Amino acid sequence: MYFESHAHYDDEAFDEDRESLIESFKKEGIDYIIQVAGDILSSKKSLELANKYDFIYCSLGVHPHEVEELDEVKFNDLKSLTKEKKVVAIGEIGLDYHYENSPKDLQKYWFKKQLEWAKEVDLPVIIHSREASQDTFDIMEESKITKGVIHCYSGSVEMAKEYIKRGFYIGVGGTSTFKNAKRIVEVVKEIPLSSILIETDSPYLAPTPFRGKRNDSTKLKYIVERIAQLKGILPEEVAKVTKENGLKLFEI
């Protein structure tokens, strides 16, 4: 029923019940999960999870917060893992100017390098962009990348439409259910369902009424219901189309 396009089940928040939780997902209607990496270690852990469970696929990549750990040797080591069958994307990569845990210039350097990697191996990208909308867009435009998803989208309607024109999907998660959500609500209303992927970003960003608690993929139904409400369609249609979108983008 549901295609989870972005989760982090390698996170320590799941250390106590990871196996039992993941094994419960099938009966909850979670058909596919993209287990998303954030650094070198989590890339390897993500691949382990994907190899363990038939319905989990994974990405490889280094989040902008963590790019200071990279050098050319480590990067080449990471790149060597793309030959593994369950690797379906490069991500999450991008820019984050909110915390700026890594210097902006370094973020940009490794963002560009990882986009080049995605082009080399012909895989879609999973993009993280926080308070860096224009720089992210400009770098992606320069890269000529034409397939991927803008995770936890927080930009304008106009920019969302520009991404869609270039072949990208818009990731919609728990923030769409928040009372103070305005931008993402307008984006969901204005863009076609054929350009939306649903995501939880587990264990983060749990939807209302679970805000502030640990998130997991069983909460996708609340995101689906919110999208359906905003678009005036049935939740079943949202689940069906977003699943088709996920299968198409990640070529599963």
Q: Which residues contact 11 (CB under 8 A, 6 or more apart)?
A: 202, 203
Q: Are 60 and 95 in contact (CB under 8 A)?
A: no
In order of 70, 101, 108, 173, 197, the CA distances from 148 in angstroms are: 23, 24, 18, 16, 10
Q: Which residues contact 125 (CB under 8 A, 6 or more apart)?
A: 89, 90, 91, 93, 114, 115, 118, 145, 147, 148, 149
Place of tokens 């198409």: 248
Q: pLDDT by residue (tens digit) across 21-47?
A: 999 999 999 999 999 999 999 999 999
Average pLDDT over residues 208-235: 97
Q: Is the pLDDT of residue 99 over 90?
A: no
What percent of the chain is modeled with pLDDT above 70?
Answer: 100
Q: Helix or strand or coil: residue 30?
A: strand
Token pair for residue 14? Answer: 């799941």
Q: Cα(94)–Cα(55) distance, rounded to whole angstroms?
A: 26
Domain ranges of the chain: 2-249
Please report which helix (H) or strand (E) contains residue 139, including its range: helix 133-143
- Largest Cα span, the chain: 51
Give me the half-sphere count of Cα atoms (radius 13 Å) on the Cβ side of residue 51.
Answer: 9
Confidence (pLDDT) at 159: 97
Average pLDDT over residues 164-193: 97
Q: Helix or strand or coil: residue 55?
A: coil
Average pLDDT over residues 218-234: 98
Per the prediction, the chain carries an average pLDDT of: 97
- Find the distance separating the first CA and the last CA of the chain, reported in whole Å: 15
Confidence (pLDDT) at 96: 97
Confidence (pLDDT) at 105: 96
Q: Is the pLDDT of residue 13 over 90?
A: yes
Average pLDDT over residues 179-208: 97
Place of tokens 């905003």: 230
Backbone dihedral region of 101: left (phi > 0), alpha (psi from -120 to 50 degrees) or beta? alpha
Confidence (pLDDT) at 214: 98
Confidence (pLDDT) at 37: 98
Q: Is the pLDDT of residue 100 over 90?
A: no
Q: Decide which of 3.30.470.20, 2.40.110.20, 3.20.20.140, 3.40.640.10 is the CATH code for 2-249.
A: 3.20.20.140
Confidence (pLDDT) at 170: 98
**Strand ranges across the sheet with 56-60:** 2-7, 30-35, 56-60, 87-96, 125-130, 148-150, 168-172, 196-198
Q: Cα(93)–Cα(11) distance, rounded to whole angstroms?
A: 17
Return the higher-pLDDT residue of 99 and 82: 82
In order of 105, 110, 139, 162, the CA distances from 201 in angstroms are: 26, 22, 24, 24
Other Cβ atoms closer than 10 A to 179:
6
